[in-house]
Amino acid sequence: MYCACAKINCIMLLGVQVSIAGRIYEAVERAKELGCNTMQIFSRNPRQWRHGELEKEEIIEFRKRREKAKISPLFIHIPYTLNLASPDAALYHKSIEVYIKDIKEAGLLGADYLVTHLGSHMKKGENWGLGRFVNALNIILDKTPSEVEILLENTSGSGSWLGYKFQHHKIILDKIHKPQRVGICLDTCHAYTAGYDIASEKGLNNMLEEMDNLVGLEKLKLVHLNDAKDTLGSRRDRHAHIGEGIIGKEAFKRIVHHPQLKDLPFILETPKRIAEDDRRNLEVVRNL
């Protein structure tokens, strides 16, 4: 999207979570058809454990098509099956092992960032879960390529999920061995239902000030742009179409124009009930 800024054109970095159905390189064509200049994918089925590896030819074709389409940056979201805060020893160690394989594969695909949730402590306590996560992340950082940066996504805080407040992100960044390889992903729906009133101008500024004080806004590399179906502080993770949820269109207009956010990549993870949903949500954001 282009906007008049003095005598230059400003390009908004806007994309969606794109399906990898068929061959993974077909996701690039889907993003291109939607007019995206950035994109996010799962590199495999997000609700299953790994089954085999991507073929070399698929990786080469993906990189070639992405370069031709000029889609950058590329974000890969870690699958939901992994839990780096799990008290279950088998699940915990398997999550670390698979995470290492996933981030290496992300590097082969040419991904710039890998987006990750912080996991669930399963009622063992937040401090316990954060310690568990830090230990896992240090192992992963030591065994994976440095060109892929890991982004810690905030959560709504449902159940025992970590990451619903930025104090959690600060604890992790303070304790990991290679903080230069780790940044933050802000999800607007998650922030709102976790209790940050980003629907108001004051609430948005207060949240950004808190982020800056705790982790530094230079760590913020991506915004997941999603409206919320549920009320402020409800701790429920249900996304809505842009402008059709409780956060509302005026709030998203403030977000995409905010001087501390407007130059960041925005990725939509809005509901996909019909084929045109992504196109419709992208158009709403472009019109803002």
Kind plus residue range of the DSSP H or E element containing 248:
none
Active site residue 153: yes
Q: What is the mean pLDDT of the chain?
A: 94
- Catalytic (active site) residue 80: yes
Catalytic residue check, 93: no
Residue 175 confidence (pLDDT) above 80: yes
Catalytic residue among 269, 277, 279, 286: 269
Secondary structure (3-state) at 275: coil
| Banded pLDDT at 8 (limits 50, 70, 90) | very low
pLDDT digits (tens, 9 = 90+) for 35-63: 999 999 998 886 677 777 899 999 999 99
pTM metric for this prediction: 0.94
**Residue 146 structure tokens:** 């440095």
Q: Domains in the chain, please, with CATH?
A: 2-287 (3.20.20.150)
Q: CA 82 to CA 95: how far, in whole Å?
A: 5
State yes or no: is 187 an active-site residue.
Answer: yes
> What pLDDT shows up at residue 2?
36
What separation in angstroms does the CA of 46 have from each of 16, 82, 215, 223, 229?
16, 9, 28, 20, 23
Q: What pLDDT does 10 receive? A: 62
Sheet holding 149-153, edge to edge: 14-16, 266-268, 220-225, 182-187, 149-153, 113-116, 74-77, 39-41
Q: Say which of 121, 132, 168, 224 is annotated catalytic.
A: 224
> How confident is residue 141, by pLDDT bands cut at 50, 70 and 90?
very high
Q: Annotated catalytic, 239?
A: yes
The C-alpha atoms of residue 33 and residue 19 are separated, in whole angstroms, by: 13
Q: Is 66 annotated in the active site?
A: no
pLDDT digits (tens, 9 = 90+) for 244-271: 999 999 999 999 999 999 999 999 999 9
Please state, in angstroms and rounded to a whole number, the distance separating the CA atoms of residues 254 and 276. 25
Known catalytic residue at 269: yes
pLDDT at 83: 97
Among 91-100, 143-152, 165-174, where is mean pLDDT lowest? 143-152
Please report the pLDDT score of residue 9 as a whole number.
45
Among the listed residues 33, 57, 67, 80, the single catalytic one is 80
* The predicted structure's pLDDT at residue 53: 86
d(CA 193, CA 246): 10
